[in-house]
Amino acid sequence: MDALTLLGHVSNAYRSLKNLAIEATIITESGDENSNQRNEQLVRFFYATPDCIRYERGGKKGTVQVADGKQLHTSFSGHRGLGGGPRYSSVPLSLMPRLPHFFRSQFPLGGGDEAFLFQGIDEHVVAAQILREEEGCHVLSVTFEAPPYANLIVSGSAILFWVNAENYIVMRLEGEVGHRVPTEDEITWSRHIVTIQKMRLNEQLPEDTFHFTPPADATLEAGGQCGMGGGGGGFVQHSSDGQRRLEHHGSHKWDGDTLVEHSKWKIRGVSLTFERRLTFSADEKELHVAERIMGPKGEVESSCDLPVD
C-alpha cells in the first residue's frame, strides 16, 4: 500500500465515524538556543456525526467549545475581556464555513484549532511517503500545497502522521510552522505535537455531552467579539498580475484620553510608518488629529482640527 492510498483510508475512516471520544496532549515549543518556551496541555474532544462537537481545554486560560447542531458556543476562563471575568459567545453554524477541529491542509498543525477529524486529509497533497512502522502505526511524511498566504505562514518541513494500522485513526502528528508579521522580515518558528492518549470509537456518548450552559458569572460577547483595551492585525495583498505586493500591520491603544494608531506599510519594497493621535476637545466639538509619517529618508508631521459637532 502506498502513502496516498493510506491517506485515502484515513479520510474514509473518519467519514464513517458515528461517535468519537479523545483525550490528547498538545505540546507547543518555540524559541532558539538562547531562549525556549514549552507548553503542554491536556485536552478532551468529542464528536457525533454530522455536526456536534465538544472541545475542552482546562487551566487558567481554559476554553470550552460546543457545537450542538445549530449553534457553536465558546466560553473562555477569566483571561479575556475587560475586567478579566469569564465570557462566552454563540454563533449560528449556518454562518460558519466549517466546524472547528476538522483538518485543513492550509493549517495542518492547528495553532489553537488542532485537528481531531481528518476527513479530506488525502486532498491537496504534494508529496507523501510511508517512512516506517512503529508501535502498531504507519508513520507518514506528508507535504501539502502551500496556502495563498504562504508568505506569512511558512511550513518548516513535511508533517509527520502516526496512523493506527488497524482502524486508520491518526494517533499523533507533529511538525514545524513559521509565522511572519506583515511588514517584518523575521520568522518565528514553533513546533507542534498532538498525541492521542485515550480514544473511544463509535461508543454511545452521554446525552448531555453536546449541551452548553454558560458559566453563572459569564458575560455574553456581543457578536462573538471580546472587548479589549487595544488591538492590531495585518494583511498581505497582491496585485492582479501577482507582481506587486502590499503589506500592512497596524495596532491601536489608548494613551489617557488620546487614541493612538500605529501602522506600518511596505509598498513596492519601501517601508513607511504612520503614527496618528486623535484627541477630542474639552467640549467634544472638535477632534484634533496629529500625524507623523516616517520613511527611509526622514519624517514629516502634520495636524488638523476636525469639527464633529
Per-residue pLDDT of 41-74, as tens digits, reads: 999 999 999 999 999 998 777 889 999 999 999 9
Is pLDDT above 90 for 97?
no
DSSP 224: G
| CA-to-CA separations, 169 to 8, 110, 222, in angstroms, rounded | 12, 18, 38
For position 190, what pLDDT does the model report?
Answer: 81
For position 307, what pLDDT does the model report?
Answer: 92
Is pLDDT above 80 for 180?
no
pLDDT band at 282 (very low <50, low <70, confident <90, very high): confident
Which residue matches cell numbers 487614541? 259
Please give the Cα distance from 282 to 305 (Å, whole number). 13
Is pLDDT above 50 for 81?
no
Q: Which architecture does CATH list for 3-124+188-224?
A: Clam (2.50)
Highest mean pLDDT pick, 120-129, 171-180, 289-298: 120-129
pTM: 0.69
pLDDT, tens only, 27-38 = 988 866 566 788
CA terminus-to-terminus distance, the chain:
74
Highest mean pLDDT pick, 1-15, 89-103, 180-194: 1-15
In sequence order, what are the residues at sequence separation of 6 or more whose Cβ sits closer than 8 angstroms to the Cβ of residue 141?
127, 128, 129, 131, 158, 159, 160
Q: Where are the domains of the chain?
A: 3-124+188-224, 230-307
Among 149-153, 157-161, 199-203, 218-222, where is mean pLDDT lowest?
A: 149-153
Among 103-117, 208-222, 241-255, where is mean pLDDT lowest?
A: 241-255
For position 230, what pLDDT does the model report?
Answer: 45
Please give the torsion angle defined by the CA atoms of residues 143, 147, 153 and 154, in that order, rounded to the nearest 10 degrees: 30
173, 108 Cβ separation under 8 angstroms: yes
Cα 38 off chain centre by: 18
pLDDT, tens only, 191-231 = 899 999 999 999 999 989 999 988 777 787 654 433 334 45
163, 169 Cβ separation under 8 angstroms: yes
Among 76-80, 167-171, 227-231, 273-277, where is mean pLDDT lowest?
A: 227-231
| Tally of CA atoms within 13 A in the half-sphere of 291 that contains its CB | 11
For position 224, what pLDDT does the model report?
Answer: 44
For position 108, what pLDDT does the model report?
Answer: 83
Q: What does the mean pLDDT of the chain come to?
A: 84
